[in-house]
Structure 1
Amino acid sequence: MQRSWIVLFIACIILSPVFNFAAPILKFLGQEHGIADPAGVYSLKIIPQMFSYAINLPTQRFHQAQSKVLVITLIAFAALIVQTGLLHLFINVFGLGTTGAAVAYDITNWGVAISQVGYVMVCCKEEWTGFSRLAFGEIWDFAKLSLASCMMVCLDLWYPISISILAGLLPNAVISVGSFSICMNFQNWEIMLLLGISAAVSYYLVGLPLAIFLGFKVDLGAIFFLLIMTCRTNWDREVEQTTRRIKKWRSQETITDEICI
C-alpha cells in the first residue's frame, strides 16, 4: 500500500501538466473555446483531488483485501453528505460558482483519503505496522508491474465495450448491405423505395418518438435506448424477410418466363 502511494504520487506529478494545460489541449482536439476555457480553469483547480486518489485508491484496495467493505461504504456515504453541504455553501451561499464546486470536490476527496488512512492506522493494528523504508525499495519494478496492471484493466474494459458495439452494429450493417445488394441486383426502384420507407418508419417515426416518450415522460431512463434498438431490430428483420420474399418471387417469375418461352 505504501509503495502504491509513492508510485501514484509520481504518476500524479507526471499527469499534472495535462490538467494545467487542459484548455489548449481541448482546443487542439477541436473543442469550442467557450467550453474549453472554463473546463481548463476547472481542471486547474481540481489538481489537488488528483493527488488524493494516490492515497485513496491503494487504501481502498487495502480495506477490500481485509473484507472491510462497510468502512468504505460509510466513508463514501459521509463524503456524499459533506460534499452536498459544501456545494450548497460555496455555490449558493458564497456564490463562488465553479471555483466553489472545485474546492468542495478537493476537500471531499482529501477527506475520504484521510479518513481511510486514519482508520487503517487506528483500527488495523494487526495489519498496519507503521511507515517503512522498504516501501522505497524496488520502486521501478513495482511501477512496471503497476503499469502492466493498468493496461490489463484498460483492455478488460475495452474488450466488452468493443464486443457490445460490434454485437449491436454488425447485424444492422449486414442487413443494410444485404438489402442494398438486393436492390442493386434487381435495379427495382419500388424495392428501394420500400426499404427506405421501412427503415425511416422503423427508426424515426416509431422507435425514436416512442423511446423519447417512454424515456422522458414515463421516466424509464436509459431503457428507452433499448427500446430504440429493439424496435429498429424488429423492423429490420421484417425488411429482411420482405426482401427474401421478393427475391424468391422474382426467381419464380424468371423461371415461369423461361418455361413459357
Structure 2
Amino acid sequence: METPLIEEDQEQNQVTRNKSSVLLKQVGEESKKLWNIAGPAIFTAICQYSLGAITQVFVGHVGTLELAAVSVENSVVAGLAFGVMLGMGSALETLCGQAFGAGNLRMLGIYMQRSWVILLCTALVLVPVYVFSPPLLRLLGQTAQISDAAGVFALWMIPQLFAYALNFPIQKFLQAQRKVMVMAYVSAIVLVIHVVLSWLVTLKLGWGLVGAAFTLNLSWWLVVLGQLLYIFIWKSDGAWTGFSLLAFADLYGFVKLSLASAIMLCLEFWYLMLIIVITGHLKNPLIPVDAISICMNINGWDLMIAIGFNAAISVRVSNELGASDHQAAKFAVKVVSVTSVIIGLIAMLLIMTTRIYFPVLFTSNVEVMKEVSKLSILLGVTVLLNSLQPVLSGVAIGAGWQAIIAYVNIACYYIVGLPIGLLLGFKFDFGVEGIWGGMIGGILLQTIILVIITLRTDWKREVSQAENRIKKWGGSTGQD
C-alpha cells in the first residue's frame, strides 16, 4: 500500500522540479534580454549624467560659490530642461517600441523627426528660462549671490539645451531597435574627452566657470554628432530612410502624447530638484545647498541605473505589446522588478558604509562633508525607493499610460510629499533632513500605487490598445 503513495510523491516532486527548472530557464532568458538592453543603457546614462557631475567635481575645487552656482544651474535650470526634453522624447519609447515590435520599421525614422520638430520648438520656448534665471531663482528662494552666479552659468549653457532636443529622440530611436551598444561607445569616448578637457580648462588653465561651460556644451554636442553619424552613415536597417515631410504630419496627436510623457517625468525630476530649491530658504543656506547638491549627485548616478532598467523594460513591454504577446510583457515586468530591487538594496548598503568617505570626491570643505554624512541615511532610503519606482514608470511608458501616471505623480508628490516636507523642515525645525524625509513619503506612496496599477493590469487589453495606436499613427503614413 505504501509503494504507490511513494511513487506518487516522487512524481509530484519531479513535476515540481521540472516546473522550477522551466521557470528558472525562463527567468534566465528574460534576464538576458533585459540586461542586453539595460547594461549598455545604464552605462550610457551614467556616462551622460557624469558629464554634469564631473563638471561639478572640478568646479567644487575652484570655490564654494562656484560649486553652488553649477549645482543650482545643473539641478534647477538644466534639470528643468532635461526633464522636459527627456519626458517629451519618451513618447518615442511607446511609439517606436510598439512599431518595431509590429515590424513597421520605416515609421521609426518618421517618429524621430516628428520628435525633433516638437523638441526644437520646445527648446526655443525654454530659452527665456535660461536668460532670466537669476530673478527666477531668487523667486524660488535662492540667495542673490547664488542666483546671479548660477544665472551667468545658465547663459553659457544654452547650447546644451538644443543638444538635449536632438539627443533624446535619437536615443529612443536607437533603444527601440535595441541598438544600445553604439550609444554606450559614443558616451564612453565623450566622457573620457570630457574629463581631460575639464581638468585642462577648469583647473590647469584656470578658466573656471567659463571653461566648465565650454567643456560641458562641447561634450553634449559630441554625443549628438556621434550618434547621428551612426544613423546616417553606418547602419539603419530600414528604420532611417532620410528626411521626410511626413515629419510634419499628425503632429497634434504626437504633441499630446509627448506632453503627457513630459508631465509624467518632469513631475518626478522637479520633485527632487525642489529639495535643493527649498533648502535655499533655510538660514545660512550655502553649506546645506552644497551638501544636498552632492547627495543629489550621488542619487542621480544611482538613478541612472534605474533609468537603464526603465529603458529596458519600456523596450521589452512596447516590443512585446506591438508583437501581441501579452504574457511575455507581463513576465518581463516581474523579472525586472525583482532585479532592480536587489540592486537598490546593494546600492543602499554601499552608500551607508562609505558615507564618511565619498564627500571628499566633491568638496574640500569640512562642514559640507559633515553635512553630507548626516544626510546619507536619507540618501540610502531614496536610492532604494528609486530602484523600483523608475522601472514601474518604464512599464507605464512602454504601455502608454503616461497621462494616468501624471495624475498619480501630482497627488503623491505635490499634494502629499511636498507639504509634509515643508511642515517637517520649517514648522518642526528639522531643516534639510525634514524637507527630504517628508518628500521621501511622497515617493513611497507613488511607488505603492504604481505597484497596485501594474498588478491589476489587463495585458490582453494593452495588446489591443497597442494595435490601435500603431494604426492611428502608422497606418495613415504607411505609404509615402
Give the letter for the 1:68 counterpart: K
Aligned to 1:20: 131
CA contact (8 A) 1:19 1:43 kept: yes
Give the letter for the 1:52 counterpart: A
Aligned residues: 177
After superposition, residues 55-94 of structure 1 pair within 5 angstroms as: 55-94=166-205
Q: Deviations over 1:178-222 (max 9, x none)?
A: xxxxxxxxxxxxxxxxxxxxxxxxxxxxxxxxx999621699x89
Q: Does 1:115 align with 2:115?
A: no
Q: 1:129 aligns with which of 220, 238, 241?
A: 241
CA contact (8 A) 1:120 1:128 kept: yes
Q: 1:150 to 1:224 in 2, by over 3 A?
A: closer
Q: Does 1:216 align with 2:356?
A: yes
The CA deviation at 1:123 is 2.1
Q: Does 1:10 align with 2:150?
A: no
Q: Deviations over 1:88-138 (max 9, x none)?
A: 222123321101101111100011011111111112232211111110123
Q: 1:23 to 1:131 in 2, by over 3 A?
A: same
Aligned to 1:97: 208
SS in 2 for 1:215: coil
After superposition, residues 33-52 of structure 1 pair within 5 angstroms as: 33-52=144-163
Greater alpha carbon shift after TM alignment, 65-74 vs 140-149 = 140-149
Q: 1:32 to 1:145 in 2, by over 3 A?
A: same
After superposition, residues 175-186 of structure 1 pair within 5 angstroms as: none
Give the letter for the 2:248 counterpart: F
Q: 2:254 aligns with which of 121, 136, 142?
A: 142
Give the letter for the 1:85 counterpart: V
Q: 1:10 to 1:215 in 2, by over 3 A?
A: same
Give the letter for the 1:31 counterpart: Q
The CA deviation at 1:3 is 0.7
Q: Structure 1-normalised TM-score?
A: 0.61
Q: Structure 2-normalised TM-score?
A: 0.34
CA contact (8 A) 1:214 1:224 kept: no
Aligned to 2:377: 225
Greater alpha carbon shift after TM alignment, 134-143 vs 3-12 = 134-143
Task: Report the structure number with the largest CA radius of gyration.
Answer: 1
Give the letter for the 1:88 counterpart: W
SS in 2 for 1:216: coil
CA contact (8 A) 2:352 2:377 kept: no
Gaps of 5+ in 2: 1-111, 273-350, 360-372, 382-480
CA contact (8 A) 1:19 1:44 kept: yes
Q: Does 1:153 align with 2:265?
A: yes
| Higher relative contact order (CA closer than 8 Å, sequence separation 6+) | 2
Distance 1:227 1:18 in 2: 29
SS in 1 for 2:178: coil
Give percent identity, aligned residues only: 39
Gaps of 5+ in 1: 162-210, 230-261
Give the letter for the 1:3 counterpart: R
